[in-house]
Chain A
Amino acid sequence: MLEIRNLRKVYEDGAVGVDHLDLSIPAGEIFVLLGANGAGKTSTIMLILGFTEPTAGEVLVNGIDVQKDPLEAKKHVAYVSENVMLYGNFTAKQNLEFFTRLSGRRDIPEDEFREVFRRVGLAENAYHRRVKGFSKGMRQRLGIAIAMLKNAELIVLDEPTSGLDPKGGFEFLQIVGSLKNEGKAILMSSHDIFRAKALADRVGIMSEGRILEIIDRDDLKDADLQEIYLQYVERVEAGATSAKAD
Chain B
Amino acid sequence: MLRIIIGKEILSHILSLRFTVTFMLFLVVILASFYVTVNEHMLEVNRFGSRERVYAEKLSDILKEEQDFGTHGRLERLFWLEGRNSPVPVATLAWMGQGLQGVLPAGINARAFGSQNIDRGLTRNPLLGLLATPDFIYVVNVVLSLLAILFMFDAVCGEKETGTLRLTLSNSVPRHSVLLGKWIGGYIVLLVPFLIATGGGLAYAWGRGALDPTAGNLIRIGLLIALACLYIAVFFNLSLFVSTTTHNSATALLVCLLLWVIFILAIPNLAPVTAKILEPTPALQKIEAEKRAVEEEIELKIDRLSVASGELHYGDKIERERERLTREGERRQRQWDRFYETACERQTELAKTLGRLSPSASWIYAATSLTDTGPAVHERLRESAKRYESAMGEFERAFFRAGRKPGTNEWPEISPDELPVLGLTFPNVQEATKDALNDVLLLVIMNVVFFMLAFVFFLRYDVR
Contacts and interface: CB of A to CB of B under 8 A. Distances in A.
Given A52-B464, A87-B12, A101 B4 contact: yes
Contact of A51 (B1, B163, B464): B464
Contacts, number: 68
Contact of A84 (B8, B11, B167, B169): B167
Contacts of B285: none
B164 A86 contact: yes
A209 to B, nearest CB: 15
Chain B interface size, as a band, is 20 to 34
Interface in A104-133: 104
A116 B33 CA distance: 52
B172 A103 contact: yes
A104 B168 CA distance: 12
B170 A98 contact: no
A79 B170 contact: yes
Nearest to A46: B464
A85 B164 contact: yes
A79 B168 CA distance: 10
Contact of A71 (B5, B16, B174): B174
A245 interface: no
A26 B167 CA distance: 24
Given A52-B462, A103-B171, A89 B1 contact: no
Contacts of A143: 167
A243 interface: no
Contacts of B170: 49, 74, 77-79
A15 interface: no
Contacts of B169: 49, 51
A232 interface: no
A81 to B, nearest CB: 6
A162 interface: no
A151 interface: no
Considering residues A99, A103, A150, which has the most beta carbons from chain B within 10 angstroms of its beta carbon?
A99
A99 B167 contact: yes
B464 A72 contact: no
Contacts of B464: 42, 46, 51-52
Nearest to A70: B172
Contacts of B168: 99, 102
B174 A79 contact: no
A99 B163 contact: no
26 contacts: A42-B464, A49-B166, A51-B169, A51-B463, A51-B464, A52-B464, A71-B172, A71-B173, A81-B163, A81-B166, A81-B167, A83-B163, A84-B167, A85-B163, A85-B164, A85-B167, A87-B164, A90-B11, A101-B4, A102-B5, A102-B168, A102-B171, A102-B173, A104-B172, A146-B167, A150-B171
Pairs A-B, 6 closest by C-beta atoms: A89-B15, A85-B163, A79-B170, A85-B162, A74-B172, A71-B172
Interface of A: 42, 46, 49, 51-52, 71-72, 74-75, 77-79, 81, 83-90, 94, 98-99, 101-104, 143, 146, 150
Interface of B: 1, 4-5, 8, 11-12, 15-16, 162-164, 166-174, 462-464
